[in-house]
Structure 1
Amino acid sequence: MSSAALPSATLAHAAIVAELRESLKKVAGDGLRRRPVLPFGIGAIDGALAPGGLRLDSLHEIAAASPSPSDDAAATLFMAGIAARAWGPVLWVVRRRDLFAPGLYQAGLAPERLIYAEAADDAELLALMEEGLRHRGLGAVVGEVKRAAMPNTRRLQLAAEGGKTVALLLKRHARAASDKGGGNPLAVPSAAVTRWRIASAPSAALPIGVAGVGRAMWRVELVRQRGGESAEWTMEACDETGRLALPARLADRTDRTADGAGRAYRRAA
């Protein structure tokens, strides 16, 4: 079949994939032997994860606890923090141009590490993610979709296996609760190794007489993981290195233990 006989949507999709391949050719691996998991550096979370951190050769799904802008931003920055702690370039595939680069930078993800790709629909987005995962030269591949069926997530998981590129898929809330899943983006079965739900939480109070608000707080829920249990924590939001932290009152209490070992809960090296 000649190219003239192909549907315009198919041609556009092929052109975008070809453009992405050209961009990925410019990305060279660092030649280093990388870890099989990416720890959070917080004992409470890493201890709850079956391999001691996020598997790098796997798909991980994240969703905001509600459609509110604050929860959506928290889920996005949670992903940015993970990608920031990965080893190299990051491919971020979007459906709309609403990412706030300074916010990603504050979560540790520097602009020079990012490769952006814009997809026309969820199908094209998932195809671009798969292409990025198979490239093997990226530290993380991130995408944002409204719908991804089990076969879609299985393809992403298979593309990630055997590599060291972590796949992060943000499941956005549908506009109508009547859509499949009842308004819960994580209700649809998935091949993801872990599934997370992120919500904003009240900031910690500052000392009396100090103006402003404390560091942002998130409710981090590990909804499901392969080979492990679910769990939930309230954490301080990602800092400029992409790391979460225990709330100050809990970290201070831990720091006063006899051997001082609890300090690792507050901040990873």
Structure 2
Amino acid sequence: MNDVVTTPVIAELRDRIARLEGGRARGAEVLPFGLKAIDRVLPGGGLALGCLHEVAGGGNGAIDGAAAALFAAGIAARTKGKVLWCITRQDLFAPAIAHVGLGSNRVIYVEAGDEKSVLACFEEGLRHGGLGAVVAEIARLSMTSSRRLQLAAEGSGTIGIAVRRWRRQTEAADFGQPTASVTRWCVSALPSSPLPVPGVGRARWQLELIRCRAGESADFEVEACDDKGRLALPSDVVYGSPQKEIGRRRASA
């Protein structure tokens, strides 16, 4: 029996069908976190480029919301090229964004009057094709809008990050509605890493991967992004806390 030959035209048609069905195009690149604990649960070993991803704070407070924004900035910092950041509120703290590796020389801020305008800028930025990442702060994201954003991202290969922010508690319920996003994350602030001397250690986050297309949900305790946008595992998570180690020694004794 003769093998079926797949022509470039057929391969392109298959990829188009996969995109229309909400799937990721074959051979799409990924952006690894550089942590095996996270990368191994993500299809392809990292965040899919040319796709839409969602990030939200684990709670309704400003601290978790800031952590979510910094998590998104850390991802964008590890891409190449300019980053378009679409906002409706003038409360994004640029020095904090720069602290996780996304300097002001790389960011183009777009202030829109309402969420409809933000979504329009978000989609246009993804279709541009010359940006490293596009980030947009939005409260509501419908299935129709997310599909348009996903298709725009797939067409250009640019990663899109929707940072979900709410002005009121009733809007938070929208985060539970289905969208076309490839992954959905919740970020919650934790007590900072302990230091052997008085002071404040590196911030910690609880990352919850609550949705991953073609993957499973998971949660991770990590140290916040450094000045290169990279996460790290806390030493007491990697090696075990000193208290646990003492307990193991006493038990073995």
> Which band: TM-score by shorter chain?
0.7 to 0.9
Query: In the alignment, what sits opposite 1:265?
Result: none
| 8 Å Cα contact 1:66/1:173 also seen in 2 | no
The aligned runs of 1:36-115 (5 Å cut-off) are: 36-115=29-108
Cα distance in 1 for residues equivalent to 2:100 and 2:73: 6
1:233 aligns with 2:209: no
| 8 Å Cα contact 1:63/1:185 also seen in 2 | no
1:218 to 181, 205, 208: 205
The aligned runs of 1:113-262 (5 Å cut-off) are: 113-177=106-170, 179=171, 183-207=172-196, 210-252=197-239
Cα distance in 1 for residues equivalent to 2:237 and 2:208: 18
Query: In the alignment, what sits opposite 2:4?
Result: none
Number of residue-to-residue matches in the alignment: 214
Return the letter of the residue paired with 1:242.
Answer: G
Q: Tell me: CA distance 1:127–1:154, structure 2 relative to 1, closer, same or farther (3 Å).
A: same
Deviations 1:219-266 (A, max 9, x none): 00000011000000000000000000000223456xxxxxxxxxxxxx
Return the letter of the residue paired with 1:224.
Answer: R
| 1:97 partner SS | coil
After TM superposition, the score normalised by the length of structure 1 is 0.77
Contiguous gaps of at least 5 residues in structure 1: 1-34, 254-269
| 8 Å Cα contact 1:91/1:142 also seen in 2 | yes
Cα distance in 2 for residues equivalent to 1:101 and 1:176: 26
Q: Tell me: CA distance 1:185–1:108, structure 2 relative to 1, closer, same or farther (3 Å).
A: farther
Query: 1:188 Cα shift?
Result: 1.7
Return the letter of the residue paired with 1:243.
Answer: R
Deviations 1:125-159 (A, max 9, x none): 01101111111000000000111111011100010
Query: 1:185 Cα shift?
Result: 4.6
| 8 Å Cα contact 1:79/1:168 also seen in 2 | yes
Cα distance in 1 for residues equivalent to 2:86 and 2:65: 16
Deviations 1:79-126 (A, max 9, x none): 000000011100000001111111001111011000110111111101
4+ runs deviating over 6 angstroms: none
Deviations 1:158-209 (A, max 9, x none): 10013221000011134133x4xxx3452121100000000001112211xx
| 2:160 partner SS | strand
After TM superposition, the score normalised by the length of structure 2 is 0.81
The percent of aligned pairs where both chains have the same amino acid is 52
| 8 Å Cα contact 1:139/1:164 also seen in 2 | no
| 8 Å Cα contact 2:81/2:132 also seen in 1 | yes
Return the letter of the residue paired with 2:175.
Answer: L
Q: Considering only aligned residues, what root-mean-square deviation do their CA atoms show, in Å?
A: 1.5
